[in-house]
């Protein structure tokens, strides 16, 4: 029987776009001519639940609930309104029913429960939102109301982007999850297994691969594997993905293999290829980074001599089989940057495997997915973008790098512009000084609309301890460069890092307040530090002033580590105030509040001067140009008009060059000799040319017949061109 693979992402991840892992593996399998089908069971289960049929069934189940909150009683009483409106709302959020926004925005169409209480606070924001966006936001609140009802009355484990996440978080022991799996399936389980049954019967795979990116996918992964194992015992089942890669590296509980035949770690291409070889030929007995059960014991096999594939060899992610038109875009808050994770469908790609920095002490830098750095060429990235646009009909790309390398981002932007592609893209970065104003303008011209990056703790002492390689002042300047270019910036923020004092937490919040007030940061998210087993903090806690609470290694998941900080500070208590203040800053308000106002306990006054970020953003003035700097011209060919200029009896030939960009027209005047040279030079410097010239090359060309290039380069006409797309990179 010919090998056929069925790959799934179990519920739940994102609603608006598929998680890319199965598309990556399917793209690789295409290169070795192995047949495969993949599915995102998360979106399929959501669409079953949030339908007329699904809501009717859930309200019938909820009818059996005895004591419920007033909010759930209200939703239950309005069930007919929810059932009547649900299909139209889902179609609207899928982009298929845009006219419904007009009714939704009248605010007498959707039934409203507790989630709509925040509307009074956000009414002012709708002035900056269009009808479609306001409709999406109101529809999102409507879905969240239903979600609250499901959690209280149907299945306490439900969550839009996670399911039974608690069972997967820090599950050192398999006991609790195993016990739950022996119980009868929940209503949501039944929906999942019904869809899975239909898929298995249609695909008839020989190997079933389950990608588990997050703790919130773990329970449904085991439920899916359990059902297939019971009903199709001949199908071999394997788990891979982000969760096992980080959490299951010391797995020893044999009960896991009642559900799975294999669990693979790290890059999946060679491990999956070897699984296929083992299934096709049981005598093959060669595995790559794979746990199996032998003689009742868990054994880690890594005896394959096959090297991992280079990134250039793994193929283009393949999104066929996925129902791309069925994903739903939601807007939880009106912040334009924050919504990008939940609104719109994005093709996912990676510029480079691993992280080029690879030093941050809170990060899993000892694991392959971080430490093995391998970039992909800009030309191959553009080939993949064009192929994916052809397949999906979408020209939006989210580069899901750990930290996209600035030099590769520059090369990618130039290649996009050279090919005249119309694309929209965003990615994750480090806020490093390589992101000059001109590089940000180039990225914007190529279609980059946003970047996200880790500011972490906005304290220079702690940034040094983290080994982040940046300072707060530098982050401010880089953020300003992006913002001035029209690229939105999101910052990941951290509190509770080892040895962090209360004063540093307060000062970090003040830095964040000033960044938002200065308009150089548009979005952010606070998360509390968690010690992980594969980070420098987890491996060498004594260097960071913390003590592990236990050295015992669990038999199931091992990643998050409980610890005691030498400061003895309860960082949990800062969570609400940090997040509430950030929510307001993201909406451009409350900058004049005292920091104390965000907390219901006494905090010290900040020691950060109130003009720290303002001063950091002041222009440094004159900047020299490095000889190897690349010079590109983003504009078009100007119209040249010769004229004669006379003064005090003298006359000389001049040329006026008139340029047209997308917004306006402008002119510069030069003497004819300089104008003639510049006309030719701009053609050489066009970003669409195959060769990119250096500053030194441009200077040498100028000085073949003319003199004093620096005087010309820093003249008023060239400064004007610098404002309109003559970039030094």
Report whether pLDDT(257) > 60.
yes
Q: Each residue of 154-198: pLDDT tens digit?
A: 998 888 776 766 666 656 889 999 999 999 999 999 999 999 999
Angle (nearest 5°) at CA 551 between 547 and 552? 150
Q: Is the fold of 4-43+163-313 the same as that of 346-616?
A: no
Domain boundaries, the chain: 4-43+163-313, 48-153, 346-616, 630-728
Average pLDDT over residues 594-610: 96
In the CATH scheme, what is the homologous superfamily, with its name and number, of domain 4-43+163-313?
Response regulator (3.40.50.2300)
Distance CA 678, CA 715 (A): 13
Report whether pLDDT(622) > 60.
no
At residue 166, the pLDDT reads: 66
At residue 315, the pLDDT reads: 96
At residue 504, the pLDDT reads: 94
CATH topology of domain 346-616: pyruvate-formate lyase- activating enzyme (3.80.30)
What is the distance of C-alpha 554 from the center of its chain?
31
The pTM for the full model equals: 0.92
Interacting residues of 155 by C-beta distance below 8 A, sequence separation 6+: 186, 187, 188
Report whether pLDDT(119) > 70.
no
Rg (CA), the chain: 29
Q: What are the DSSP calls for 584-646, one per residue? A: HHHTT--TTS-GGGG-SS--PPP-S-TTHHHHHTS--------TT-EEEE-S-PPEEEEEEEE
What is the distance of C-alpha 177 from the center of its chain?
29
Report whether pLDDT(607) > 80.
yes
Distance CA 245, CA 225 (A): 18
Which strands sit side by side in the sheet containing 523-528, from one edge to the other?
A: 347-349, 396-399, 424-429, 448-456, 488-495, 523-528
Q: Each residue of 632-659: pLDDT tens digit?
A: 999 999 999 999 888 877 888 999 999 9
At residue 543, the pLDDT reads: 87
Interacting residues of 341 by C-beta distance below 8 A, sequence separation 6+: 14, 16
Distance CA 537, CA 566 (A): 14
At residue 532, the pLDDT reads: 87
Let me know: does 260 contact 285? Beta carbons within 8 Å: no
């Amino acid at each position: 029987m010919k090998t056929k693979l069925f790959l799934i992402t179990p519920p739940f991840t994102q609603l608006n776009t598929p998680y890319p892992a199965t598309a990556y593996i399917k793209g690789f399998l295409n290169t070795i001519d192995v047949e495969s089908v993949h599915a995102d069971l998360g979106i399929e289960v959501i669409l079953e639940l949030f339908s007329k049929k699904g809501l009717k069934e859930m309200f019938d189940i909820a009818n059996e609930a005895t004591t419920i909150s007033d909010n759930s009683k209200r939703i239950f009483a309005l069930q007919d309104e929810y059932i009547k409106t649900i299909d139209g709302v889902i179609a609207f959020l899928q982009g298929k029913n845009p006219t419904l926004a007009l009714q939704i925005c009248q605010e007498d169409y959707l039934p409203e429960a507790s989630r709509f209480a925040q509307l009074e606070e956000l009414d002012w924001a709708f002035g900056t939102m269009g009808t479609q966006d306001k409709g999406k936001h109101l529809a999102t609140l409507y879905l969240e109301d239903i979600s609250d009802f499901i959690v209280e009355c149907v299945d306490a484990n439900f969550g839009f982007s996670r399911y039974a996440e608690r069972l997967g978080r820090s599950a050192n022991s398999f006991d609790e999850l195993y016990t739950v799996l022996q119980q009868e399936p929940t209503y949501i389980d039944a929906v999942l297994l019904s869809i899975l049954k239909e898929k298995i019967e249609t695909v008839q795979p020989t190997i079933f691969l389950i990608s588990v990116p997050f703790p919130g996918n773990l329970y449904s992964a085991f439920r899916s594997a359990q059902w297939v194992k019971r009903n199709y015992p001949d199908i071999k089942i394997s788990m891979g993905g982000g969760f096992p890669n980080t959490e299951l590296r010391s797995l020893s509980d044999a009960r896991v293999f009642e559900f799975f035949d294999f669990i693979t770690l790290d890059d999946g291409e060679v491990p999956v290829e070897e699984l296929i070889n083992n299934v096709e030929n049981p005598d093959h007995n060669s595995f790559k980074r794979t746990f199996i059960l032998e003689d009742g014991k868990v054994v880690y096999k890594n005896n394959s001599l096959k090297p991992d594939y280079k990134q250039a060899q793994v193929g283009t992610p393949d999104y066929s089989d996925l129902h791309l038109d069925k994903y739903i875009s939601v807007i939880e808050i009106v912040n334009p940057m924050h919504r990008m994770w939940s609104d719109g469908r994005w093709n996912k790609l990676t510029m480079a495997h691993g992280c080029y920095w690879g030093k941050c002490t809170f990060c899993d830098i000892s694991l392959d997915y971080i430490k093995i750095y391998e970039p992909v060429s800009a030309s191959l990235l553009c080939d993949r973008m064009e192929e994916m646009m052809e397949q999906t009909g979408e020209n939006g790309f989210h580069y899901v790098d750990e930290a996209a390398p600035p030099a590769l981002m520059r090369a990618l932007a130039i290649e996009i512009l050279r090919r005249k592609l119309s694309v929209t893209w965003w990615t994750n970065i480090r806020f490093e000084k390589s992101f000059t104003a001109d590089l940000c303008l180039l990225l914007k011209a190529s279609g980059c609309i946003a970047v996200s990056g880790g500011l972490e703790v906005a304290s220079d002492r702690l940034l040094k301890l983290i080994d982040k390689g940046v300072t707060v002042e530098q982050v401010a300047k880089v953020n300003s460069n992006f913002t001035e270019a029209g690229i939105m910036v999101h910052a990941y923020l951290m509190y509770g890092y080892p040895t962090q004092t209360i004063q540093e937490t307060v000062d970090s919040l003040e830095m964040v307040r000033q960044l938002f007030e200065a308009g150089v940061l548009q979005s952010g998210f606070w998360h509390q530090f968690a010690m992980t087993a594969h980070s420098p903090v987890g491996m060498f806690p004594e260097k960071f002033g913390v003590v592990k609470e236990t050295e015992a290694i669990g038999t199931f998941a091992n990643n998050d580590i409980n610890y005691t900080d030498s400061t003895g500070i309860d960082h949990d208590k800062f969570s609400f105030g940090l997040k509430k203040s950030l929510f307001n800053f993201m909406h451009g308000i409350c900058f004049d509040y005292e920091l104390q106002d965000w907390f219901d306990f006494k905090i010290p006054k900040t020691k950060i001067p109130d003009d720290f970020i303002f001063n950091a953003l002041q222009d440094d003035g004159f900047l020299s140009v490095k000889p190897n700097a690349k010079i590109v011209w983003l504009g078009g060919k100007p119209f040249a008009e010769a004229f004669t200029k006379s003064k005090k009896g003298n006359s000389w030939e001049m040329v006026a060059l008139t340029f047209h960009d997308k917004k306006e027209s402008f002119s510069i005047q030069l003497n004819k000799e300089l104008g003639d040279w510049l006309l030719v030079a701009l053609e050489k410097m066009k970003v669409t040319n195959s060769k990119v010239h250096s500053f030194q090359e441009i200077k040498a060309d100028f000085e073949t017949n003319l003199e004093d290039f620096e005087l010309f380069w820093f003249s008023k006409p060239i400064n004007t061109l610098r404002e309109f797309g003559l970039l030094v990179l």
